[in-house]
Amino acid sequence: MKAEIDKFFTENYDFVIEVTKKKIAYFKRNIDPESLVANSYLYLINHKDLKHESDIPIWVLSYINTELSFYNSQTLRKESVTVSDEKAPELPSRVDIEAELDHKLKVEAFKNNLDRVEQILWEVYYERGKRSSGDLAEHFNFDRTSAWAYKKRLLTKLNEYAKTEERL
């Protein structure tokens, strides 16, 4: 009978998955349909002595209905354990936080070495993320050539600061 069960699942797998998805939605469960179908296959192979090939779809749907309708079913218990065993979100390490703070302090030190106009330009360029000459020109309402020149002058100062201070 295993050959008939294998044949049924091979030929009707997509259909059984679709039916299972609809049943999951109906019972409002949060279960992977593929695992439920796989469990129904294992159940039929291990526990049922089927007499006729026509009984296979009936037992598959019966198993799926039973597993979804009872709160204490094997599949629901297994899935609830799986969901609660999810990985905790990765938190940045102390080294990462210290490096980020160190970087922020270095950037702040560079900003303090700039004159007031350059500080405003740096704030828009670095902190607000307006990196292109077009974005800077639009923000400050002047032509792109001037924006490009200001940006180039600012980045040149940043490179010089990085070379002299060896901080960035």
HEC per residue, 37-100? HHHHHHHHHHHCCCCCHHHHHHHHHHHHHHHHHCCCCHHHHHHHHHHHCCCCCCCCCHHHHHHH
Mean pLDDT of 26-37: 85
Residue 28 has what pLDDT? 83
pLDDT per position as a tens digit, 48-103: 677 777 888 888 888 888 888 887 777 777 775 554 455 656 666 776 777 777 77
Residue 59 has what pLDDT? 86
Fold category of 94-165 in CATH = Arc Repressor Mutant, subunit A (1.10.10)
Q: Hey, what long-range contacts does 54-59 have (CB within 8 A, 24 or more apart)?
A: 56/4, 56/5, 56/8, 57/8, 57/12
Residue 88 has what pLDDT? 59
Residue the block writes with tokens 């695992």: 35
Residue 152 has what pLDDT? 92
151 compared with 86, residue with greater pLDDT = 151
User: Given a cut of 50, is residue 116 above it in pLDDT?
Assistant: yes
Tokens matching residue 12: 């009707």
Tokens matching residue 5: 């069960």
Between 56-69 and 33-47, two packed helices, what is the crossing angle to 10 degrees?
A: 120
Residue 39 has what pLDDT? 86
Which pLDDT band holds residue 168 (cuts at 50, 70, 90)? very low
